[in-house]
Amino acid sequence: MADINLPATLAATREGDIAILRLSRSAKRNALDDETVRGLRRFFMDVPEGVGAVVLHGEGPHFCAGLDLGEVVDQPDSPTNLHKGILHSQMWHRAFHEIQFGRVPVVSVLHGAVVGGGLELAAATHVRVAEHSAYYGLPEGQRGIFLGGGGSVRIPRLIGLPLVQDMMLTGRTLSADEGFAAGISQYLVPSGEGLAKAIALARQAARNAPLTNFAVIHALPRIAEADPATGFLTESLMAAIAETAPEAQQRLREFLEKRAAKITPGG
């Protein structure tokens, strides 16, 4: 994947129809600087053809310790710096939007520190696999700052507003087990097994019809947030588009002719 222009803090490889993107700034616990955030946006805006899903993980013992505070320190209060701060946050918004509403499903591997902007990044992915070493925090309250990467929108929808307020007001951290129970991750595996699990899940997702994956990524979250009447109509339109696609028709015929696997417990 040498044709993708990525900073040194990101590394991408490919295994068939799966792309694996690694945060490669382990000396900084994979803290996100501006160059890395822009690199994330470029990667997800231009996922290579033939890639059906992406796995996102962190190098070293941590997934991501959040914003590199060097990016925002030493900025005196002024209208100019206020404007810069708004634009900085919106730059993160654009990058994470490309993850959440991109072309393919994204599976993240959460281990070690998943805090601040790291948790905001994880919340933009579609499937989250946590290892037992993972822990979650939103230390912005103790740093005198606020969420800026879309976390105030995404994280309460995962775990609820009261828990987010608790974490930000008191500095509470959640263990991997607590995060799993709260809804941060859909899977919890022993330490060291997260990447293999994420790759297996990504391969499953990549086998779906691309139009179905598009509907799950783009239509489903918007339906869930819409008023019921709008949601039902959007669902009807998306269902009609998906089921009449040639690939869907072929898959349906294979199932009816008993040439496709049936759903089984644990499958």
State the Cα–Cα distance between residues 173 and 185, nearest whole angstrom.
15
Q: Is 258 helix (H, G, I), strand (E, B) or coil?
A: coil
Task: Assess whether 140 carries a catalytic annotation.
Answer: yes
Compute the chain's Rg from CA coordinates: 19
SS3 for 110-169, per residue?
ECCEEECHHHHHHHCCCEEEEECCCEEECCHHHHCCCCCCCHHHHHHHHHCHHHHHHHHH
State the Cα–Cα distance between residues 143 and 205, nearest whole angstrom.
38
Cβ–Cβ < 8 Å for 186, 198: no
The token pair at 261 is 């696997």
State the Cα–Cα distance between residues 249 and 244, nearest whole angstrom.
6
The token pair at 229 is 């009447």
Indicate which residue of 140, 178, 193, 247 is catalytic.
Answer: 140
What value, to the nearest 5°, has the Cα angle with vertex 124 and ends 142 and 72?
40
Indicate which residue of 120, 131, 178, 193 is catalytic.
Answer: 120
Residues with a catalytic annotation lie at 120, 140
